């Protein structure tokens, strides 16, 4: 039987996340072929490149799918143009800078008859499904999240992250919230929040959130962009029948033997597999639950100024 033809896909926005994750995953993909890129700052020597997405959409009708990896502040008009041009669209997280933008894109995708995939890559970490299975069989009373990393290591020189719509510490913190909303079975709400905002920035460098659900689960999250040395991406689920901890961003479970979990497919490889499935089924997947928690944290949170941040 002949192999299925791969989708020709373009990547728009060739920043760190595209180069570190999307391009390697696409090189391994059996479903997608990297056919073009778009970025005003330049492209790859071996791939057809455009300095504007509008030119790519006009000149490459054979490109049927697009991965949008730009900062959230400029994403909506680009996503809108791609959907109106009839291209299937994958959105790097966060899917937009506001809930309204994402809901509008969902409606545009439906009207255009194309697939829209708002990705949450941390949900594809290997231990997350096993944590969800454990939680389904145990009563959870408390969740503790510690998501602390060094912004200088992961976002060097990226000023957009400190500007309005850039999310600050919630850019990585939303990964924790994406896992949380995938593992716990009931909708969550933010009870209170404290946001530490550097005096020279518009977005928080650290945050503490208290959340709950209708079962009264007490959820505390500490997010910090100032972590030096070892990085921390852990969440513990505790109850009267025991506890588990998701470690290293969902890569390991505390129930694993010391050598760790068996090797599994990478997060971004799994994202592109899922994108291909959605296109094949003519479906979209747009879950805004993590983004809603971030929006609610800004709505109910108390802002506290802190010292200026400098790269």
pTM of the predicted structure, to 2 decimals: 0.94
Q: How far apart are CA 180 and CA 235, in angstroms?
A: 9
Q: How far apart are CA 93 and CA 163, in angstroms?
A: 17
Assess whether 134 and 26 both reside in one domain.
Answer: no
Q: How far apart are CA 73 and CA 76, in angstroms?
A: 8
| Structural domains in the chain (count) | 2
* 197 phi, psi to nearest 5 deg: -115, 120
Assess whether 108 and 164 both reside in one domain.
Answer: no
Domain CATH number, residue 93: 3.40.50.720
**148 catalytic, yes or no?**
no
Domain interval for residue 58: 7-118
Assess whether 83 and 198 both reside in one domain.
Answer: no
- Are residues 290 and 181 in contact, defined by beta-carbon separation less than 8 angstroms? yes
Residue that terminates a domain, selected from 118, 148, 171: 118
Assess whether 140 and 223 both reside in one domain.
Answer: yes
For residue 130, give the H/E element and its range: helix 128-136
Catalytic residue selected from 22, 93, 148, 208 = 93
DSSP state of 21: I
Q: Would you say residue 38 lies in a domain?
A: yes
Task: Name the strands in the sheet holding 142-148, side by side, starting at the edge strand that comes first in the sequence.
Answer: 252-253, 242-247, 232-239, 142-148, 218-224, 206-212, 189-198, 302-306
- Are residues 49 and 23 in contact, defined by beta-carbon separation less than 8 angstroms? no
Domain CATH number, residue 166: 3.30.360.10
Dihedral of CA atoms 274, 151, 255, 93 in degrees, nearest 10, equals -20
Residue that terminates a domain, selected from 118, 133, 163: 118
Assess whether 298 and 151 both reside in one domain.
Answer: yes
Q: What is the pLDDT along the chain (311 residues), one digit of tens a residue?
A: 344 689 999 999 999 999 999 999 999 999 999 999 999 999 999 999 999 999 999 999 999 999 999 999 999 999 999 999 999 999 999 999 999 999 999 999 999 999 999 999 999 999 999 999 999 999 999 999 999 999 999 999 999 999 999 999 999 999 999 999 999 999 999 999 999 999 999 999 999 999 999 999 999 999 999 999 999 999 999 999 999 999 999 999 997 655 444 444 599 999 999 999 999 999 999 999 999 999 999 999 999 999 999 98
Assess whether 156 and 241 both reside in one domain.
Answer: yes
- Are residues 15 and 37 in contact, defined by beta-carbon separation less than 8 angstroms? no
Assess whether 148 and 225 both reside in one domain.
Answer: yes
Q: Would you say residue 279 lies in a domain?
A: no
Assess whether 84 and 128 both reside in one domain.
Answer: no
């Amino acid at each position: 039987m002949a192999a299925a033809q791969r989708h020709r896909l373009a990547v728009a926005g060739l920043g760190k996340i595209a180069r570190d994750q999307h391009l390697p995953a696409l090189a391994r993909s059996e479903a997608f072929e990297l056919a073009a890129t778009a970025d005003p700052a330049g492209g790859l020597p071996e791939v057809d490149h455009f300095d504007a997405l509008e030119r790519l959409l006009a000149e490459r009708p054979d490109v049927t799918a697009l991965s949008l990896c730009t900062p959230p502040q400029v994403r909506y008009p680009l996503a809108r143009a791609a959907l109106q041009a009839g291209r299937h669209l994958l959105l790097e997280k966060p899917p937009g800078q506001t809930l309204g933008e994402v809901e509008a894109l969902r409606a545009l995708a439906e009207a255009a008859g194309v697939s829209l995939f708002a990705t949450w890559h941390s949900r594809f970490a290997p231990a997350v499904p096993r944590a969800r299975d454990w939680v389904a069989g145990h009563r959870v009373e408390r969740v503790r999240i510690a998501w602390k990393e060094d912004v200088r290591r992961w976002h060097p020189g990226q000023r957009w992250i400190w500007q309005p719509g850039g999310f600050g510490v919630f850019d990585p913190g939303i990964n924790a919230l994406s896992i949380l909303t995938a593992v716990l079975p009931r909708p969550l709400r933010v009870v209170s929040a404290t946001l530490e905002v550097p005096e020279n920035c518009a977005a928080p460098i650290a945050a503490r959130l208290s959340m709950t659900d209708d079962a009264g689960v007490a959820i505390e999250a500490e997010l910090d962009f100032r972590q030096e040395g070892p990085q921390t991406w852990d969440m513990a689920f505790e109850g009267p029948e025991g506890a588990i901890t998701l470690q290293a961003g969902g890569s390991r479970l505390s129930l694993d033997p010391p050598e760790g979990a068996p090797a599994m497919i990478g997060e971004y490889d799994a994202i592109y597999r899922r994108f291909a499935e959605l296109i094949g089924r003519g479906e979209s997947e747009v879950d805004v639950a993590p983004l809603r928690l971030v929006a609610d944290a800004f709505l109910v949170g108390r802002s506290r100024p802190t010292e200026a941040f400098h790269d």
